[in-house]
Structure 1
Amino acid sequence: MIGNLVIGTGVMVVPGTLNDISQSLGISVPQAGQLITAAAILMGLGAPLFAGLVAGWDRRRLLTGSLIWYGLLHAACALAPNYATLMPLRVLAVMSPAVFTPQAAACVGLLVPPEQRGRGITFVFLGWSVASVMGMPLAAWIGGAWGWRWAFGLVAVSAWLVSLWVWRAMPDGVRPAALSREAWGRTLGSAPLMMAVGVTLLSAFSQFTLFSYFAPYFAQTHGLNGAGLSLLFLWFGAFGLLGNVLVSRSIDRIGAPRAVLITLSLIALTLLLWPLGRASVWLQALVLVPWALGCFSANSAQQARLVHLSPALAPATVALNSSAMYGGQALGAALGGLMIAQGHMLSLHTVGLVVAATAIALSGWAAWVSRPAPAA
């Protein structure tokens, strides 16, 4: 969980400091947003690829090494002299999320009893929610006060410190069985599993079309920068953490498919009400609450859903689900940037709502397809 806190902070440090990156490097907001898109593409392609490459590695060494790499590359990003240098360094840095997040989740299935698997996986992803409470607001505040380079430096130091913690906490010898071609074939050929992965793709797509550009959107509509922007991110993150805690406590009781439908519906509710938030920053904060409750908990529930559907294929399905999450982030950030370049920033929520509704429909269909057969 602590590792994912640092990983999540590093992934979200660009959205949190997007305004300062744009101004500091003399580039447009859509061009700065390409840092999100390019990184998400690498994470999306890398998660399943790395799952195969590191299948037999000891997870203690793998997870620790990925955090050390994360720290080194974020330190290099902080020293980048221009956008042309920053872009490839950022892409190299996010190799770590492509490895750490799915492999940490897959490890949980080997470390906890089956009846606690859902709670264990959602607890691991709680780190992303905590990152939204602590990491992203802090990065936004540091970016506004001292510049984005200091925010990247914070991620670097945090990654190195947590790598020591992971090394001390993880037991030796945790090596999930390598997945055969037959196992990958079973995964890719399973309609329920692939539909569930598709739900994650659409969910991330719907959210990151707007979420990637929170900083410039709130600056334009409410004049928020620096401390004000940081406080709004903190508000969003606090309810994101609450939503993940509630799902973690209830998922084994209500079931992962129902948890996914509830959390996706909360996201769609905010996107439906989004125009109301333009009236004042207080209304904006209220409108954000349902989305925050569903944002990170939806992905946690999705990961638990996939592991529940096929525990033996967890290393593959968790990697594919992480890939879908990052792929949706890339699609959303790219489309959002294109819309902003065309002067349609205030319409980002409409696209998000349509895609979120599609995700809800697909999630319901997936639940129907994977329901247990009636007893004879």
Structure 2
Amino acid sequence: MRLRLILLALGTFAVGTDGMVIAGILGLVAHDLEVSVAAAGQMITVFALSYAVLAPVLATLTAKWPRRRTLLIALTVFTLANALSALAPTFGALLLTRVLAAVGAALYTPTASAAATALVPPERRGRAIATVMGGMTVATALGVPLGTWIGRSDWRLTMWLVTVLGAAAFAGLALLLRDLPAPAPAVSLRTRLAPLTNRDVLGGTATTFLVLLAFQTVFIYFTVAAAPATGGDQSRLTLLLLVSGIFSVAGSNLGGRLVDKGGPRGVMLVGGTVQAAVSFALPWLMQSMTTALIASVLNPLAGWAVAIALPARLVSIDPPNAPLLLSLNSTALYLGIAAAGVTGSAAIATLGDRWFPFASTALTLLSLGVGYATTRDRHPRPAKATKSPQAAGERVS
């Protein structure tokens, strides 16, 4: 069981590295292809927006496919797209390859997450999601700083690294992954989107959107925010990304355990509060490497705990329809990332390079308000004698 979850995480490691490493090479891409840094940031917007739109559509079109086949096709498309990104002669061509990479990612990640929740009993769903999402966090710990360092002189080397990671994930799944649960019966796109009429589901997806919008508003332009601390030194930037990645892994593991123990609501509210405080302090924390390192510990530790609570919350609303709900969560997540590319650029233009993290603070506070308003207990608490971690995890929507 554990091996199958780790194999699924191999793919999310490749996808996560591709999605997040761009933040570390924006300046190099902008210089090489003769566009502004803000324009280069739209690489992330195009990828994320394409993912958000395509995820429910692709999930519907491939609903009858065996999950192993779906995962392998997704990684094939993803790997070829990144090879084309490495070869792109113009910025326009590069944006087109990012759309193709999003096709592979949009097909892979929800399928992997749904497979993970089907492989374990209900009381271990939080940890199963954390394991697969752990591929994303390990990507921030290893893939992003490694890709940033490799691409310090040529960003195309970074894209070749992602290509190799995609190929390695494909090989691991093709050789070792067997016996995945059969997919649920196929449903129409209208049925797939129908849960959005449920207030709990709508609140959950809205919270996911706002949390990712807030976080990525700063992360996409991390190079800009960290410039006072790094002085433009790519090695210092790599160190900050490495520390951030290590504590992303810790936050993911912590979030999975806390969700299984007490449910997603407390994790979302406490973690979100820490994120709001850190983003408010960033203009001062990023003035030196010492304080920038402190921010690189606290923000991902809280942020990735929240990232695990968000899909766990949706799954707890209607466990039999986990694939549907996780697909919607992925769509909301990548819509948030797509919007953050524009929001971050606008915040920099309005507030300046130092103060633009205040936009993230405001958005985080908004996400806390929505999360709090839509996750109140609606049923009487069971007697103490019947309480269990599983019951606590499923009592709150």
The TM-score by the shorter chain falls in which range? Answer: over 0.9
Output one character per residue of 1:42-97: Cα deviation in whole Å (capped at 9) or x when no partner. Answer: 01111111111111111111111211211111011101111121111111111122
- Counterpart mapping for 1:155-194 below 5 A: 155-172=162-179, 174-181=181-188, 183-184=191-192, 186-194=194-202
Query: What is aligned with 1:5?
Result: 13
Query: What is aligned with 2:222?
Result: 214
Task: Decide whether the 8 Å contact of 2:283 with 2:355 is kept in 1.
Answer: no
Output one character per residue of 1:210-260: Cα deviation in whole Å (capped at 9) or x when no partner. Answer: 110012332355313321111110011111111111122232112112122
Tell which deviates more after alignment, 287-296 or 224-233: 287-296
Distance in structure 1 (CA, Å) of the matches to 2:358 and 2:63: 41
Query: What is aligned with 1:270?
Result: 278
Distance in structure 1 (CA, Å) of the matches to 2:228 and 2:99: 28
Q: 1:245 to 1:175 in 2, by over 3 A?
A: same
Task: Decide whether the 8 Å contact of 1:184 with 1:316 is kept in 2.
Answer: yes
Aligned match for 2:310, one of 277, 281, 302: 302
Distance in structure 1 (CA, Å) of the matches to 2:364 and 2:166: 33
Distance in structure 2 (CA, Å) of the matches to 1:220 and 1:33: 20
More contact order relative to length (CA 8 Å, sep ≥ 6): 1
Cα drift, residue 185 of structure 1: 5.9
Q: Please say if 1:311 is aligned against 2:319.
A: yes
The SS at the match of 1:371 is coil
Query: What is aligned with 2:142?
Result: 134
Distance in structure 2 (CA, Å) of the matches to 1:173 and 1:128: 21
Q: Please say if 1:258 is aligned against 2:257.
A: no
Distance in structure 1 (CA, Å) of the matches to 2:30 and 2:117: 42
Partner amino acid for 1:346?
Answer: R
Query: What is aligned with 2:237?
Result: 229
Q: 1:137 to 1:98 in 2, by over 3 A?
A: same
The SS at the match of 1:176 is coil
Q: Mind listing any 5+ residue stretches in structure 1 that lack a counterpart?
A: none
Output one character per residue of 1:171-230: Cα deviation in whole Å (capped at 9) or x when no partner. Answer: 246332135358536512210111011100000111111110012332355313321111
Task: Decide whether the 8 Å contact of 2:252 with 2:301 is kept in 1.
Answer: yes
Query: What is aligned with 1:74?
Result: 82
Output one character per residue of 1:245-302: Cα deviation in whole Å (capped at 9) or x when no partner. Answer: 1122232112112122222222112112112213312112112322110222322211
Task: Decide whether the 8 Å contact of 2:272 with 2:368 is kept in 1.
Answer: yes
Q: Mind listing any 5+ residue stretches in structure 2 that lack a counterpart?
A: 1-8, 384-397
Distance in structure 2 (CA, Å) of the matches to 1:225 and 1:172: 48
Tell which deviates more after alignment, 248-257 or 198-207: 248-257
Q: 1:101 to 1:297 in 2, by over 3 A?
A: farther
The SS at the match of 1:344 is helix
Query: What is aligned with 2:395?
Result: none
Partner amino acid for 1:166?
Answer: L
Output one character per residue of 1:150-169: Cα deviation in whole Å (capped at 9) or x when no partner. Answer: 00000001111111111233
Partner amino acid for 1:241?
Answer: V
Aligned match for 2:93, one of 79, 82, 85: 85
Distance in structure 2 (CA, Å) of the matches to 1:79 and 1:308: 43
Q: 1:333 to 1:52 in 2, by over 3 A?
A: same
Distance in structure 1 (CA, Å) of the matches to 2:14 and 2:235: 21
Cα drift, residue 342 of structure 1: 5.2
Q: 1:158 to 1:343 in 2, by over 3 A?
A: same
Distance in structure 2 (CA, Å) of the matches to 1:280 and 1:106: 42
Aligned match for 1:359, one of 355, 367, 370: 367
Aligned match for 1:30, one of 28, 31, 38: 38
Task: Decide whether the 8 Å contact of 2:60 with 2:187 is kept in 1.
Answer: no
Partner amino acid for 1:92?
Answer: L
Distance in structure 2 (CA, Å) of the matches to 1:3 and 1:222: 31
Query: What is aligned with 2:293?
Result: 285
Distance in structure 2 (CA, Å) of the matches to 1:142 and 1:68: 23
Distance in structure 2 (CA, Å) of the matches to 1:27 and 1:221: 24
Output one character per residue of 1:128-157: Cα deviation in whole Å (capped at 9) or x when no partner. Answer: 11000001111111121x311000000001
Q: TM-score, normalised by structure 1?
A: 0.94
Distance in structure 2 (CA, Å) of the matches to 1:233 and 1:49: 33
Distance in structure 1 (CA, Å) of the matches to 2:326 and 2:57: 12
Percent of residue pairs identical: 31
- Counterpart mapping for 1:114-125 below 5 A: 114-125=122-133
Tell which deviates more after alignment, 358-367 or 291-300: 291-300
Partner amino acid for 1:36?
Answer: I
Query: What is aligned with 1:19?
Result: 27
Cα drift, residue 375 of structure 1: 7.0
Query: What is aligned with 1:41?
Result: 49
Distance in structure 2 (CA, Å) of the matches to 1:290 and 1:315: 31
Distance in structure 1 (CA, Å) of the matches to 2:360 and 2:312: 24
Q: How many residues align?
A: 374
Q: TM-score, normalised by structure 2?
A: 0.89
Aligned match for 1:61, one of 62, 69, 72: 69
